[in-house]
Structure 1
Amino acid sequence: MDIPDRLTRAAENGDAAAVARLLDAGAEADAPNSVRRTALDLAVNAGHVDVVRLLLAAGADPCRRTGEYRELTPMLQAAMRPDPEMIRVLLDAGASMDAQGPMEWVPLVVAATSGDRGHPQTVVLLLDRGADIDAVMKGRTALEYALTTGRTLMARWLLGRGAAPTEYALGLAHSRARQSPEDAKKYAPVLGALHARLSELDG
């Protein structure tokens, strides 16, 4: 097994000691393995923050394309996970919060719509670091995606943080609320929050 394969395997397994030894022995932090994955790619994907710190300190590029098909970035991978510390480490290393990857995905939107309810702690961190709460990804904001995917708690939280209560968002909430009695109950608090925000803006 050559050095890049050894490094990526250790990174994916979270073996920080082995990663440190390989880097000290001259392994290149961004060298791809035999299937074109890098150590940073696999460490972020597996959630090994300590390994990610080592790789970034050794010069790994926090903006390099990742994923099996080069469809992601470390930030997008981290935004899909519930641990905000990975996001913090990547931001400190210079990672972008703007649309990125070949699909132009926005980390804030990804964080708001990943998992069963989105990842609010990650969204908080991104907003505190200056992310645009109304950033658009493929024509929709995080609020609109949250409503589309049934993440009503996230939608209410985004509204509480100042997300724009767009007419499209209001239409989505009304449409989903009409689908069944259960949906009506689920979306009622969101509709109330939307109307409250619209009243605030009108006032």
Structure 2
Amino acid sequence: MSRRRRKKQTQQLAVAARLGRTAQVKALLRAGADPKKPDADGTTPLYGASVHGAASTVRVLLEAGADPDAESGHGDQGTPLCGAACWGHTDAVRELLAHGADPDLREDHGTGCSPLRWATQGGHEETAAVLRAAGASS
């Protein structure tokens, strides 16, 4: 596959993931798109899907090999679990945890907020409860 085609697929995958277009994400993955590759802004498809609460898309990306703990962005985003917890996307949080996301992993390379802190600060009690049940302690 050409470099230009890969770049286009990466961008298409990031947009489809962010919009929760699971069928399109599946098609792009079948065509060879890399679920781990960030777009030009540094956003991973998994982060985009997580922060927008697209739980079924999150599941597809994780099953395709996306890293549940990979930081996204160039210092301005965070981990998929922090993104989902911040907005109270409980189903996305469940998917991430079921696929091995660390419930205590702080963003910004360990110096930022934890998923539990994001959930509690946002008043997302159900999300916080799911994180605590998974072992989150901070």
Superposed CA RMSD in Å reads 2.4
SS in 2 for 1:32: helix
Instruction: Report what 1:58 is aligned to.
Output: 31
The partner residue of 2:67 within 96, 101, 105 is 96
* Aligned-pair CA distance for 1:137: 1.2
- Which residue number corresponds to residue 123 of structure 2? 150
**Structure 1: runs of 5 or more not aligned:** 1-25, 167-203
Match of 2:42 among 49, 67, 71: 71
In structure 2, the residue matched to 1:124 is 94
CA distance in 2, matches of 1:31, 1:81: 23
One-letter identity of the residue aligned with 1:121:
D
Matched residue of 1:62: which SS?
Answer: coil
TM-score where L is the length of structure 1: 0.57
Q: CA deviation at 1:45?
A: 2.2
The share of aligned pairs that are identical, in percent, is 34
1:17-96 alignment runs, 5 A limit: 30-32=6-8, 38-66=11-39, 70-96=41-67
Output the CA distance in 2 between the equivalents of 1:157 and 1:89: 21
Uncovered stretches (5+) of structure 2, i.e. residues with no partner: none
* Aligned CA distance change for structure 1 residues 29 and 49 (closer, same or farther; 3 Å): farther
**Which of 1 and 2 has higher RCO (CA within 8 Å, sep 6+)?**
2
Q: Which runs of 4+ in 1 moved over 4 A?
A: none
Q: Determine which structure has more spread, i.e. the larger CA radius of gyration.
A: 1
Whole-Å separation in 2 of the counterparts to 1:73 and 1:153? 26
Count of residues paired in the alignment = 131
